[in-house]
Amino acid sequence: MDIKRNYEYLLSDLSSLKGVGLKTANLLKKKKINNIFDLLWKIPKSYTDRSLSSKINDLKIDEVQTITIIPRKYFFPRVRNLPNRVLCEDDTGEIDCVFFNSYEGYIKKILPIGKEVTISGKIKYFRNKYQLTNPKYISEDSSLIKRKHNTYSLTEGISEKVYNKIILQIIQNLPEIDEWHSENILKKFNHIGWNESIKKLHEPDNVGKFKENFYQRLAYDEIFSTFLVNSEIRKKIKRIKKIKKKFDTKKQNEIISKLDFLLTDDQNKTLNEINKDLCSDNKMFRLLQGDVGSGKTIVSLISAFNTINSNFQVAVMAPTEILARQHFLLAKKIFPEKIKLELLSGKSTYKEKKKISDKLLKKEIDIIFGTHALFQKKIEFNRLGLIIIDEQHKFGVNQRKKLSDKAGKDCDVLLMTATPIPRTLTMTIYGDMDLSIIREKPKFRKPVKTYSKIENKIDDVIKFVKNEIKLGNQIFWVCPLIEESKKIDHASAIKKSEYLKKLFPNQVYLLHGKTTIEEKEKILNKFLKNEFKILVSTTIIEVGIDFPNANVIIIENANKFGLSQLHQLRGRVGRGNKESSCILMFKSNLSDNAKKRINILKDSNDGFKISEEDMKLRGFGDILGFKQSGIKSFKLADPIHNHDLFILAEKEIKRIENEKEDISKFKTLVKLYDRADIINDIA
């Protein structure tokens, strides 16, 4: 086969490999191995040493042994279901090679009489004779057997022997690739090249050697390629020239002065960063990240107000209709009457939607609130100047890029998330965006006191709830998803609400995944108006509900949640100025990990600190559902163990940006690491 000695070979289809037919290729594709390059990252988890050769009389039973033997006699019984047998020997003794379900012709081919053959497998002893059953490692060329064979996490239907042959074939045909890193970077990894690193990655003796130069270099390549793509997207967006927003900060300050609280230093700093972007002739593409209850919404609405005063329209998109309505009502409360607001609801009739669409086109609406429906093809704006998207941590790089393109060149983009994530993850996931962070909580907000309670002490919890209700307070009671089954979750929430209704007649309502949107909204509005005291719910209350009178949250089976999700749920209370409590209920016999999670949450209300601890306990990709969100995860790099590599890559990207370095030398890197769909015009 004529192999191209460049990176294109690595991006070839699996069928170009010798020994990989349609069946094997399909099995590999089920494991998301779509080309030769993908195969390189299925690294060995251990190895079997077949390099040492033994004599028959020295064999150890139940151990993998390698021997060189000469087949002497075939025994092919005519009785069905009896195995075929080959008597073999060396100069010290005899051994039977036994085959079930193997044809005579195949056996004669692999074990020809009188020819020296090397064979390896687990040794058994049967009827006073050594025996090898269905041996897979057989060859007249001993060099193919007498070595260490890697053990991989295999796809069903592919044997270890076949997998090793495929990997060995790729390693032998690895193209010589020109180095893409600078001398300074290579020095950090003792000048080891990409090719040599890949070879070492698959050497049996290097299994688990994560601190070695070869592994570190390859992990760095992954991180750096991601950062490079993010940098290029950021630069592309920054190159877009837009009409500058011009607004009077006196009007902004009039709104701020009428608020019944003072903005924190972080809120003021963030507002200034956003205003600077709005007034620039470069397009804004910014993430506003803040802990639950840190006051991101008010900052975004003031930014929207400034945009409207620049004679532009604003669209505010939220993940749920409830949250969109909440933002709409807050804007109505703080904005002057002359600002024209509208809410696009899923319940709006076709006629109402058409009317809103016409008003948007005629610029008779200044700011519109809604869900993803705001960006349907039928909805057109007259002069859209700012898009605000709330709680969109599941927006991938491609989606953000498309959104920015669709918004038009004069439209700025502000994404918000109440999900604090570790810096290494932020750099990876949101590296294409500028970042503003609100860490500081408003001074009137008291920290939520967190307690843990074993579930058989529920009487103590009920007593506490009764006392809180006497004081006029409201309670969230959360029943978790159990074994990822909505049906079981639905039943457990119903069961708990029935139990509580007996104790608190006419004071308990239930929300779960099967509650209709209309019914959900009715229930939440009743809860907001304090018409009942206890809301039993599944985790659907996790995001975007603000009920200042709810100051207690009880979370059942708390050990089933990750730290960050528990912190998000806890953030549903403590929104007012009352003392608030979170009670984590759990079964006995907690794992050490579950105990750690509960104790961390009891000790801290800092979402950023909690997210760091969550990542240490749960691992990259698992935190906050990012693994499920389609965001690219790394094959080798780990934000905890390779934190220094993330910092190194960040510094290198900044150097390249500052020195305006030609990035054409990174073309191969970008192509290989499968990011060409995002950035395909590197020279």
Question: pLDDT tens for residues 389-410?
Answer: 886 555 556 666 666 666 778 8
Q: Give the number of other CB atoms < 10 A from CB of residue 41.
A: 14
* Average pLDDT over the chain, rounded to an integer: 84
Interatomic CA distance for residues 617 and 610, integer angstroms: 11
Tell me which CATH code domain 51-146 carries. 2.40.50.140
pLDDT in tens, 143-170: 889 988 888 877 677 888 888 888 889 9
Alpha helices in 309-349 (DSSP H): 321-334
Alpha-carbon dihedral of residues 344, 345, 350, 355, nearest 10 degrees?
Answer: -30
- Phi-psi map region of 140: left, alpha, beta (phi>0 left; psi -120 to 50 alpha): alpha
At 163 the pLDDT is 85
Task: Say if residues 307 and 339 touch (Cβ distance below 8 Å).
Answer: no
| Chain centre distance of CA 432 | 17
CATH class of 249-438: alpha beta
Residue 1 pLDDT level (bands cut at 50, 70, 90) = very low
What does the alpha-carbon distance between residue 637 and residue 220 come to, in Å, rounded to a whole number?
Answer: 7
pLDDT of 453 higher than 80? yes
**449-604 matches 249-438 in CATH topology:** yes
646-650 average pLDDT score:
93
Beta-strand runs (E) in 391-469: 412-417, 434-438, 449-454
Which CATH architecture group holds 1-48+156-176?
Answer: Orthogonal Bundle (1.10)
CA 191, CA 214: separation in Å to the nearest integer? 10
On the CB side of 12, CA atoms within 13 Å amount to: 19
Q: Give Cβ neighbours of residue 71 (< 8 Å, ≥ 6 apart).
A: 86, 87, 88, 97, 111, 112, 113, 114, 115, 117
What are the pLDDT digits (tens) for 503-520? 999 999 988 777 777 788
Instruction: Say whether pLDDT at 218 is over 90.
Output: yes
Question: Residues with Cβ < 8 Å from 522, sequence gap 6 or more?
Answer: none
Q: Is the pLDDT of residue 269 over 60?
A: yes
**What pLDDT, on a 0 to 100 scale, did the predictor assign at position 440?**
83
Query: pLDDT at position 671, please?
Result: 86
107, 74 contact by CB (below 8 A): yes
Minimum mean pLDDT among 16-20, 239-243, 638-642, 645-649: which range? 638-642
Query: For the chain, how big is the Rg over CA atoms in Å?
Result: 32
**Could you report the per-residue pLDDT of 351-391, keeping only the tens digit for each?**
888 888 889 888 999 999 988 777 776 778 889 999 998 86
> Residue 2 has what pLDDT?
37
Q: Which residue has the higher pLDDT, 678 or 461?
A: 461
- Whether 320 shows a pLDDT value over 80: the answer reads no
Query: What residues pair up with 86 in beta bridges, in sequence order?
Result: 74, 97
- Higher pLDDT pick, 643 / 619: 643
Report whether pLDDT(88) > 90.
yes
Report the interhelical angle of 607-618 vs 563-570 (nearest 10°): 150
Say yes or no to pLDDT of 74 above 60: yes
Q: What is the pLDDT of residues 50-68, one digit of tens each?
A: 988 999 999 999 999 999 9
The interaxial angle of helices 397-407 and 213-239, nearest 10 deg, is 10
Q: Which are the contacts of 331, defined by CB distance < 8 A and separation ≥ 6? A: 301, 304, 316, 339, 341, 367, 369
Calculate the alpha carbon distances from 679 to 13, 285, 654 in Å. Answer: 22, 17, 18
pLDDT for the residue numbered 189: 95
CB 644 within 8 A of CB 192: no
- How much of the chain exceeds pLDDT 70, in percent? 90
Sketch the domain layout of the chain as residue ranges: 1-48+156-176, 51-146, 177-239+643-683, 249-438, 449-604
Q: Which of 311, 250, 300 is nearest to 277 (CA)?
A: 300
Give yes or no for a contact between 602 and 574, defined as CB atoms under 8 angstroms apart: no
Residue 214 is which amino acid? F
The span from the first CA to the last CA of the chain, in angstroms, equals: 30
Indicate the SS3 state at residue 356.
Answer: helix
pLDDT of 489 above 70:
no
User: Which CATH number applies to 449-604: 3.40.50.300, 3.90.950.10, 3.40.50.720, 3.50.50.60?
Assistant: 3.40.50.300
